[in-house]
Structures are given as structure tokens and as C-alpha cells.
Chain A
Amino acid sequence: MSLAFDEYGRPFIILREQERKSRVKGIEAVKASIMAAKTVARTLRSSLGPKGMDKMLQSPDGDVTITNDGATILEMMEVENQIGKLMVELSKSQDHEIGDGTTGVVVLAGALLEHAESLLDMGMHPLRIAEGYELACKVATENLDNIKTRFEFSREDIEPLVKTCMTTLSSKVVGRLKRPMAEICVKAVLAVADLERRDVNLDLIKVEGKVGGKMEDTRLVEGIVIDKEFSHPQMPKELRDVKVAILTCPFEPPKPKTKHKVDIDTVEKFEALREAERTYFTDMVQRCKDSGAQLVICQWGFDDEANHLLMHQNLPAVRWVGGVEIELLAMATGARIVPRFQELTADKLGFAGSVKELGFGTTKDKMLVIEGCPNLKAVTIFVRGGNRMVLDEIKRSLHDAICVARNLVRDNAIVYGGGAAEISCALAVEEAADKVTGVEHYAMRAFSDALQAVPLALAENSGLPPIESLTAVKKRQLQESNPYLGIDCNDTGTNDMREQNVFETVIGKKQQLFLATQVCKMILKIDDVIKPSDFE
């Protein structure tokens, strides 16, 4: 009740203008939230797995995106509902932490809430359900630790890694070319990985794309690709063994930040200023030349005069290179980023084996490819695709695969995919549930049922009879106590995921369980939703 009375019986306003606010309370509120979350999950459900369908999204400006990446779909759906937004956040945090399994986590959360709903109907308290879920989640993650296997690979033997990436890619539009694409991703990750520290800095892998060509033309550049061209059309298009200077100051007269005026009142001053300007330009270029640089990469623009002087001094230059690229270049070539011409010295230069300008198709687009850098710590994956939509989708898919490879480098524990891990966890939770009395017993059972929603959706999307396939696998897992059996999505004839090489990282799976459970708990705890009604 948002209306109370004080001791004299006068109404006492707690919520202002309540008639203009809509309010849902108690069990109704929980149910409304669950409803919203379920709707979001249902949208994603058909995108799960290797045979998952794509979604076509039209942005407010009319641009079209086609994808089956959960995080992207949710982000572009522009969900209005607050609970819906929670689900979007959920998928986003999975994306940030792990980079893969963004669809799975939402489907799981949706299933958990769906089962919670029926428990609510039985009259259970939402918080008790949440507690039961927590308990079950703990059991499930412990089970994951039990069934996980170590995954061995080394810099020489990349085959296992390639296989993992192939699993991730098989559900995307690049499925046709999963093998070469997976190899590209693994090579890229290993090129920048620090195997001792088990760390991969993803900033060092850049995914660049250019519309046109075929997917097959996608390649890994062991260096950097910049979407720029040489500043002067007549500079050489290909350079070998060059010393690179990286500048963050423009080839222009200085612009002091403090306010100032240079007054000209006599002819002499005018002449002097002109002379100063001329020498300024020659000085700048001369300094670069003197330092021994053979290529100048600049974050800012050049004046026409400077441009010509550079050209004249046989000093190829690139202008307007973005900040991120500058940093990457500096890392790769070993150059120091120089903010002032005065500080440019020979030891601050970097080195590149080859710098090439590439043109594409019949349009005049050009790109610079910088390869053979001493510090092979930066790589670029250069993606080609039939049109912008395909290109973006390939980029997203590669990002997912790269994340998976990175996770394996970080922690090489894996569980098997195709729903095998979920089924195994479901069995473990069910078993644990039997040992618990009270409301938690039901909650844990519900958790176990919800876990099975993932293999169920997988089977459904693959065109298999969902219930038959699920129960068959479940039975075999119980009988053979073999946690590697899953849904045969690709129709290969075997349910053993070890043979199909379908696996996922333990961190990813655990993260999915944790995040989904947390969100459930959060949603179940809401018992009052107040929102102002729309402005008229």
C-alpha cells in the first residue's frame, strides 16, 4: 500500500503521483520479470549450436546486421524492459569475460527462470528457490572440475587448439571454411601469446576487414595493416628494410596551446616571419632525415609544403594514423613514439622488413601492410568477404574463436561440448538433490531440469527429435558413466564428443553457470517494480 494515514486519519503520501506510475508487487512482480527474461531467452534459443539460425537486425538508421552471436543480437535489439536489459548485460559480461558462449548463458538463465516460475506456483518463497539454485550451482561446478580433462598443446603442436576453434566456428557463417579460419586464429593467438605467463594480450591481434573478394582470401598478416596510404601519390609503393620514425606531432608550424598573438607591423617582421616559416618546414624534414628514418608515420596531417619536402627527401610518409595503430606499430617495430621533432634520434627508430601499399578491386581503396617487424608481437587478421554483412559476421566469429584459443592458453582445462557437460552436471545435481531435504530439494531438481534445456535446444535446432535424443544420451551417460556423451548435432553418427572434437573451456562453462545463477537470483529477489508511465 502506498497510501498511509497518520494519527489524525489524514492521508499521508509515500509515493508521489502514484496514479501516474505503474506498479507491480509481490509474486506478480517476480512473474512479470520472469516473463520478460523468458521472452529474451526465447529469441536467442534458435541461434544455439552449430545449426543455429541467424537473426536479421535492422538498426534505427536502417542498417542491417545478420548474426547468430548472442551478445550482438541482444545489444542490437535495443531491449526496453529493465529485466530484459539484465539479460543483455548477462550476455555482455560473458562476452567480456570469456568471449564465447554468449547465447548459451542466456538460454540457461531463461530456463532457470522458467523452472523457478513453476516452483513459485507451488508456493515456494523466491529466495529459497534462489538458495537452492546456488547450492545446485556449486554442485554443478564441482562436477565440472571432476569431469574436466587437461588439454595438451604446445607451440609446435597446434592441432588440438585448431580443433577447438573449429568447434566455435562451425556454428557461424564461416562454417564452410572453419579449418583455415581456425588455423589463422590459432596462429594469431600463439604469435602474441606469452606461454610462460599464460597470458594473451588481445589488443595485439587486430582484425581488419575489407569488403570484396572471397572468404578464402582471408589471411593472417604477421604485422600490421593500416587503412591508410602514403601521403604523396608519388612515394614508392613498396619499401624494404626500413627504419621507421613514429611521430605524434604534425608537420606544421607549432600551435602553442596558450593564447598568443604574433603581431606584424613592419615589413621586416613580415619577411622574418616568412623566413622562419620556411626554415621551420625544412628543419622538420631535415631532422627526420638526419635521424636516419626511412619512413615517417605521423598521427597528424601534413601541410602541402611539408608533404612535398618529404617526397623530395625520399622520405615516404603516412599521415593521419590513428592512436591505436600508432601504439601497435610502435610495439611491433620497436620504435619509440616521438612527440616532438627535437627529440627524434636514431635510437628511437623502429624497424620493418617490408612496407607495401595494396590496392583492391576496381575501387581505389588502398591499405598499407607492414610486415617483418622485429618484435613479432602484433599480428593482423585481414578479412575479406562478399559484402559488409558477411564481413562483420566473419569478424565477430573470428573474435569468438580467438577468445576461445586465448582461454585455452590461459587455462587448458576443458569439458566436452554438445551438451555433454550440461547433461553430466544435470545428473550430478539430481543425485545431490536427493540428499537434500526441504524446499532446496525441489529447487535443485529444477536446476537440473534447466541444465538440460541447453542440449534440448541443441537437438531441436539440429532438426533431431529433442526429447528422444536427450533422454537417450542421458541414459547412456548414466549407464556408461561416461561424461563425454552429447548431442550429435552435425549428424556424424557418434555421440562421443571426444571423437567429434567438440569441447569448450572449463572457465567458459563455469562462468556460464555462475552468471546465469546470479542473474536468476537477482531477478527472483525483485518483488516490487515501480516505473513512471510514459510521457504523453
Chain B
Amino acid sequence: MALSQQSGILQQGASEERGENARMASFVGAVAVADLVKSTLGPKGMDKILQSMGRGQEVTITNDGATILKSIYVDNPAAKVLVDISKVQDDEVGDGTTSVVVFAGELLREAELLVNQKVHPMTIIAGYREACDCARSVLELISFNNRSDPALFRADLLNIAKTTLSSKILTVDKEHFANLAVDAILRLKGSGNLEAIHIIKKTGGTLQESFLDEGFILDKKIGVGQPKRIEDARILVANTPMDTDKIKIYGARVRVDSMAKVADIEAAEKEKMREKVRKIIDHGINCFINRQLIYNLPEEMFADAGVMAIEHADFDGIERLALVLGGEIVSTFDNPDTVKLGHCKLIEEIMIGEDRLIHFSGVALGEACTIVLRGASTHILDEAERSLHDALCVLKETVSDARVVFGGGWPEIRMAKAVEELASRTPGKKALAMEAFARALRALPATICDNAGLDSAEIVANLKAAHGAEADSRMGVDVVRGEAGDMAELGIYESFRVRQQVLLSGTEAAEIILRVDDIIKCAPRKRG
């Protein structure tokens, strides 16, 4: 470091850390981030308040690992790797975002001890890799699959949803929400298209009042003086300007020499709009939904024709509506015969709390549904939405890959056992790394215990003993009673995909950080 600064190789303000220093910096950074989210793990995990730096100082309360890490500003490059990993976990499987960071952090903590004992990082990596392969095959072996039996499969899904939700704010009503989520997912019939599930948040009421609606709810207003209730609706979903239709030919401009002509052209413009509206009405529709604004003139015309017109449904809304109603998104109106209209049995305006929403029921695509969340404050609603999203993602993954494992640290204990057996058969220093891997795996159930205020050493030791005594023991951490308990009886299940992803990403992240022996920070860009 000193050398490169003396000779002025790097820019001013840049720094270079090598060897031990670099390794130390990355260990410290990564472990710090892992410790930060550690306390949110498990059913008794605590929440964090995040205050945004921007104007308004918005406050978010959450215990979702990915959300926390996304919002904090980290300067340490190694910590950034962990933040990234949790983001990917969120994108890929939606849950386990905290677990993956805690696991990677534990791996690094163990690695630090080994490095201090003069084990070469490459040896540690080799050991971790082998241990990871072993753990993975064990995980595959112990997973089970109930897809063939719909009733059991549903029970599995329900249990998974409950397990996921139990660590979130929804834990009080987890039964209710688990049912909501499973119903919603099963409606998708395996298509896994989460877009068809629409979540609407409305403050007021209690979480318990949240419900699943089998239709589609659009948070928009119906135009003035138009019917508020339509049966057997024929719907045209459009994306077209309904304010002033601009001339798109480049360079066109209006230049007139008298006021009379201005009036003429204005009239022509109006006529153009009238004609457009007429064309739209000629489609034989009684509901018109547009992505863009609808001005008063066309709105009035629609009202005269008894057509319900809904303006300004945003792009997502339009796509989803088109999907749900089975219509196409229309932008030209010259060929009414070939346009595919959307249909639904009933459109009506409903009240939720104090807001009026538009409710489409009896839609063509039976997959769609809307979950309306109610809650006392926006913070609760936001967190509820995040939790529900997690649950939905996990359920979706489970529907596509029906393998399931028990929760409560059960797979970790099993994997740790297998890895330790492998270590005892492996010659050389790699075995040390494998043992460390097993310890890192066991740290996950230990953290769950710690967060619940339990004696983690005692419980994990009991678990270890239980699994050692009986090869296919189902013991895991029972947080409620504060002891080792039978996971099958408690109904604590988790998705296989989530656990596998935690294992693989965690190991990968640890490996990346371990491989580094030199950190070069460029001079920060001057912000002018």
C-alpha cells in the first residue's frame, strides 16, 4: 500500500489494500452486514426501521432481508456482494433473503478463523465446494413430494405459506393469509403467472378484513353520468389518445389568416374526435377502458351512449386487464369486426373503506384474482404486501417444483450431519473447512433460537443428539414452546427450491469474497 502511494501509481484519493488487510476488510464488512440482518431471522425475528435519505424522510418498517439491504448504503465492497446476493435471492425465489446473507456471513466468520490458523483460502474454498455438493445431495434426498395427492399438496402449500408468514407482521393472522395466498396460487393452475394476482392496499379496517376477490378490481373511477353497473359487459381495452388527437406527420402546423378559419379547424378537430368516439361505440361495447386520459367531450359522448368509460388505467393495469378480460389492447378503430373484445359478467362500483373501486366479476380468465389488503396504517400495509409477495413467490416456486422440506432448521441439521461425516472421511486440511461448513449450517437454527430469546446452544445440541440417535428424525426448532419439536406435527414446511438456493448462493458469495486478496478503491468521482 505504502509503495503504490509513494510512487504515485494510483490516483490521489484511491487506496489499495493487500493480503491480510484486504481479507480482514472484506471479512469485517461481510460479517457486519450479516449481523445487521441476523436479528430479523425466524418467527421471532425483530423488525427494522428504515428512514430514507430523500425528502420527506419516509419510514419503512420491515423484517424482509432484501428490503433492508436494498435500503442501506454500504461502502464496503465485500458487503455489497452480500447485498447483491440477497437481491438475487429475492428475484429468483422471493424468500430466504435473510437466510442467505446470514449463511454467507457464518461461512465467512468460520473462514476467518481458519485463515488465522494459516489455512490457505484456496483450501477453504475447495473444502466449502465439496461440502456444498454433499449438502446439496442430502437436501435433494430428504425432500419429499406430494404433488400426486391434491389434498396433501394443498396442505403442504398451506404449511409453507404459514411458515413463511410466521416470520412476518402477518403472523397473527397467518391462517387467514396462508389460505388467501394458497387460494390465489391454486387459481393460477400451475401457470405461475403472478401478474394475474393483483394486490390492492387500502388503509382502514384490520388485517383480518383483508380478502381475496375472485374477480378483478381496478382502482379507478367511472366517468361522470355513466352507468355504474353493467351486466354482460363487452369491454374495449384501448391505448389511444382521447384528449386532442395530434397530427403525427412531422412538421405539420396550423397557420391561418382569419379567426373564422380557426373556428373551422377547431370544429374539424372536434368532429374528428366525435368520429373516433362513434367508431369506438360502433364496436358494440358498453364499457371502454383507456390507458390515457379521456377529455370531457368524449366522456360526455360515452355517457350519452350509455357506455361506461374508464380513463387513465396505467400501463400495468391495462396489460393485466387485457389478460384477464381476454380482449386485446386496441389503438385503431377502423375494423370493428376483427377486434377481440373483452367480456365479463358484471362490472360494478364497490366501496372499500371510503374509496370507490371498480369490480369486474365473472371474467373470462378464471386465473385472475385480486387480494385486497386492509390495515391500520400504510406502514403495516406495505409490510403486509411484502410478506404476502414473499409467500406468493414461494408458493409459486413450490407449484413448479413440488419438493418440500421441513423448516425450523431441520434441513440444516441434516446437512450439517452429512457434511461432518464427509469431513471425517476426508484427509487433509480440506476437512477443517468442511467442519466449518457444518458449523455455519448449524448457525441458522441457532440464530432462530437466539432471536426468540431461547438457549440456542442447548436446543441445537438437543437437535444434534436427536438426529444422531435416529436417522430420519423430524426434530427442528419449536420456537413457541422453546424446545426441539417434531416439525411434521407442527406443520413447519419450507420449499425445497428456497433452501437449495440459500445453500448455493450463500456458498458462492462466501467463495467470491474468500478469493479476494487485494482491494483497490478508485478515487470517488467528484460530484459537481
Binding site for B on A (CB under 8 A): 32, 35-36, 39-40, 42-43, 46, 51, 53-62, 64, 66, 68, 73, 76-81, 84, 173, 176, 211-214, 232-234, 252-256, 260-267, 270-271, 273-274, 276-278, 280-282, 303-305, 307-309, 311-312, 361-364, 386-390, 463
Q: Report whether A267 and B516 are in contact in the complex, using a CB–CB cutoff of 8 Å.
A: no
Taking CB as reference atom, which chain B residue is nearest A365? B91
Question: Which are the 6 A-B pairs with shortest beta-carbon distances?
Answer: A308-B331, A53-B517, A60-B525, A387-B84, A54-B515, A64-B77
CB < 8 Å neighbour of A57 from B255, B393, B505, B520? B520
- Judge whether A387 and B509 touch: CB under 8 Å: yes
Q: Is the CB of A363 within 8 A of B508?
A: no
Per-residue interface assignment for chain B, residues 80 to 121, with 1 indicating a CB less than 8 Å from any chain A CB and 0 otherwise: 110011011011111000000000000000000000000011
Are A58 and B519 closer than 8 Å at their CB atoms? yes
Q: Within the complex, which residue of A54, A176, A232, A264 is in contact with B516, where a contact is CB–CB below 8 Å? A: A54
Give the shortest distance, in Å, between A429 (CB) and chain B (any CB): 30
Flag if A76 contacts B92 (CB, 8 Å): no
Q: Which of A56, A261, A308 contacts B22 (CB 8 A)?
A: A56
- State whether the Cβ of B427 lies closer than 8 Å to any Cβ in chain A: no
Among B10-18, B361-369, B435-443, B449-457, which stretch is in contact with chain A?
Answer: B10-18
Given contacts A51-B122, A66-B81, A463-B120, are A277 and B249 in contact (CB under 8 A)? Answer: yes
Per-position binary interface string of chain B over residues 507-528, scored 1 when its CB falls under 8 Å from any chain A CB and 0 otherwise: 0110110011111111111000
Binding site for A on B (CB under 8 A): 3-4, 7-12, 14, 16, 18, 22, 26, 75, 77-78, 80-81, 84-85, 87-88, 90-94, 120-123, 129, 194-195, 239-240, 247-257, 261, 264-265, 267-269, 272, 319, 322-323, 328-332, 334-335, 338-339, 393, 396, 504-505, 508-509, 511-512, 515-525
Contact of A55 among B12, B92, B393, B520 (CB under 8 A): B520
Question: When the two chains form their complex, are residues A253 and B249 in contact, meaning their CB atoms are under 8 A apart?
Answer: yes
Check if A312 sits within 8 Å of B508, measured CB to CB.
no
Known: A66-B81, A81-B7. 5 other contacts (CB 8 A): A32-B7, A57-B520, A211-B88, A267-B268, A386-B85
The distance from the CB of A17 to the nearest CB of chain B, in whole angstroms, is 21
Q: Is the CB of B331 within 8 A of A55?
A: no
Q: Which residues of B contact A55 (CB under 8 A)?
A: 516-520
Task: Given A256-B250, A386-B509, check contact A81 B8 (CB 8 Å).
Answer: yes
Question: Is B9 within 8 A of A304, CB to CB?
Answer: no
Docked pose: A252 CA to B247 CA in angstroms? 12
Q: Is there contact, CB below 8 Å, between A60 and B77?
A: no
**CA separation between A280 and B249, bound complex, in Å?**
10
Among B10, B332, B521, the residue within 8 A (CB) of A281 is B332
Question: Which residue of B78, B249, B334, B524 contacts A62 across the interface (Cβ within 8 Å)?
Answer: B524
Find out whether the CB atom of B8 lies under 8 angstroms from the CB atom of A60. Answer: no
For the complex, give the distance between the alpha carbons of A312 and B329 in Å. Answer: 10
Given contacts A234-B328, A270-B265, A387-B88, whether A53 and B523 have CB atoms under 8 Å apart is no
Q: Please state if A39 and B522 are interface contacts (CB–CB under 8 Å).
A: no
Q: For B335, what are the chain A residues with a Cβ–Cβ distance below 8 Å?
A: 312
Q: Bound complex: CA of A42 vs CA of B515, how far in Å?
A: 17
| Residues of chain A within 8 A of B511, CB atoms compared | 173
Question: Which A residue's beta carbon lies closest to that of B129?
Answer: A176
Contact, CB under 8 Å: B77 / A56? yes
B8 touching A80, Cβ below 8 Å: yes
Chain B residues within an 8 Å CB radius of A277: 247-249
Closest chain-B Cβ to A233's Cβ sits at a distance in Å of 5
Complex alpha-carbon distance, A387 and B79, angstroms: 13
Chain B contact surface mostly: mixed
The count of A-to-B residue pairs whose CB atoms sit within 8 angstroms is 225
Residues from chain A with Cβ under 8 Å of B508 in the complex? 386-387, 390
| Beta-carbon contact of A362 and B261 below 8 Å | no
B9 touches A39 (CB 8 A): yes
Given contacts A40-B9, A66-B81, A66-B512, contact A56 B518 (CB under 8 A): yes
Residues of B within 8 A of A281 (CB): 332
A53-B249 in contact given A212-B88, A233-B319 (Cβ < 8 Å): no
Q: In whole angstroms, how far apart are the Cα atoms of A361 and B334 in the complex?
A: 39
B261 touches A363 (CB 8 A): no
Residues of B within 8 A of A305 (CB): 240, 331-332
Give the CA-CA distance A52 to B329 in the complex, in Å. Answer: 56
With a cutoff of 8 Å between Cβ atoms, the chain B residues found around residue A233 in the complex are: 319, 322-323, 329
Assuming A261-B253, A271-B268, is B522 touching A57 (CB within 8 A)?
yes
Is B253 in contact with A80, judged by CB distance below 8 angstroms?
A: no
Task: Tell whether, in the assembled complex, residue A362 and residue B512 are in contact, meaning their CB atoms are under 8 Å apart.
Answer: no
Shortest distance in angstroms between A327's beta carbon and chain B's nearest beta carbon?
28
User: Shortest distance in angstroms between A280's beta carbon and chain B's nearest beta carbon?
Assistant: 8
**Contact assessment for B92 and A213 in the assembled complex, using a CB-CB cutoff below 8 Å:** yes
In angstroms, how far is the closest chain B Cβ from the Cβ of A308?
3
Q: Determine if B253 and A262 form an interchain contact, defined as CB atoms under 8 angstroms apart.
A: yes
A252: which B residues are within 8 A, CB to CB? 248
- Nearest-neighbour CB distance to chain B for A391, whole angstroms, equals 10
Q: Give, as a whole number of angstroms, the nearest-CB distance from B522 to chain A.
A: 5
Of A256, A263, A303, A304, most buried by chain B (CB within 10 Å of CB) is A304
**CB of A302 to closest CB in B, whole Å:** 10
Closest to B500 in A: A214
- Interchain residue pairs with CB less than 8 A apart (9): A55-B517, A60-B522, A60-B524, A73-B520, A233-B319, A233-B329, A253-B249, A263-B254, A264-B252
For B520, list chain A residues within 8 Å (CB). Answer: 43, 55-58, 73, 76-77
How close is A246's CB to chain B, nearest CB, in angstroms? 24
Whether A59 pairs with B239 at a CB distance below 8 angstroms is: no
Select one of A43, A78, A176, A304 contacting B522, CB under 8 A. A78
- A312 and B338 in contact (CB under 8 A), knowing A78-B11, A234-B328, A277-B249? yes
Interface centre among B81, B247, B331, B521 (most CB of A within 10 A): B331
Chain A, Cβ-Cβ closest to B120 = A463
CB–CB B393/A43 < 8 A: no
B253 touches A263 (CB 8 A): yes
Chain B residues near A312 (CB-CB < 8 A):
328, 332, 335, 338-339
CA distance A143 to B325 in the complex (A): 76
Residues of B within 8 A of A463 (CB): 120, 122-123
Q: Provided the pairs A76-B522, A173-B512, A264-B253 are in contact, do residues A363 and B91 lie with their beta carbons within 8 angstroms?
A: yes
Whether B248 contacts A362 by the Cβ 8 Å rule is no
